[in-house]
Amino acid sequence: MKVLLDTHILVWFHTRDSRLSEKAWDMLLDVQNNICYSSVNIWETQLKHLNHPQSINFSGEELNMLSLRANLTCLHIKPEHSIALKMLSYSTDAPRPHKDPFDKMLICQAKVENMLFMTHDSLIPYYNEPCILQV
């Protein structure tokens, strides 16, 4: 199974954060799974680190290096990923809007590439995409 990680899941993986569920760890450590991160994760982390270095411990460069050392596969943005944004719809039943452009692109990447998108964000399942896996 191919799994694309949301940025916070990627960071938690590298820091061995206790917020990762047992289910998430089982998937992440299963050698049968192809665990992927995206250039979007690196872009998001780099921007947040530059804007808030005191609260974001990783630079995008550091996150990329850790991910490569962990033998994770990097997924780069393709035109089809951007085009797929027009197919995303957000449920009107959601408790509040979800405006994060990074998450939207990650969902589209997972959808187009036939991957699972692993997240902990409680708003993302309101996109009602079968590729979303909330852990």
* pLDDT 10s digits, 55-83: 888 899 999 999 999 999 999 999 999 99
CA–CA separation, 82 and 91 (whole Å): 20
The confidence score (pLDDT) of residue 4 equals: 98
CA–CA separation, 86 and 95 (whole Å): 22
Does residue 23 carry a pLDDT above 90? yes
The confidence score (pLDDT) of residue 81 equals: 98
DSSP track, 66-124: HHHHTTPEEEPP-HHHHHGGGG----TTSSS----HHHHHHHHHHHHTT-EEEE--TTG
The confidence score (pLDDT) of residue 117 equals: 98
Read off the pTM: 0.95
Tokens 């089982």 belong to which residue? 26
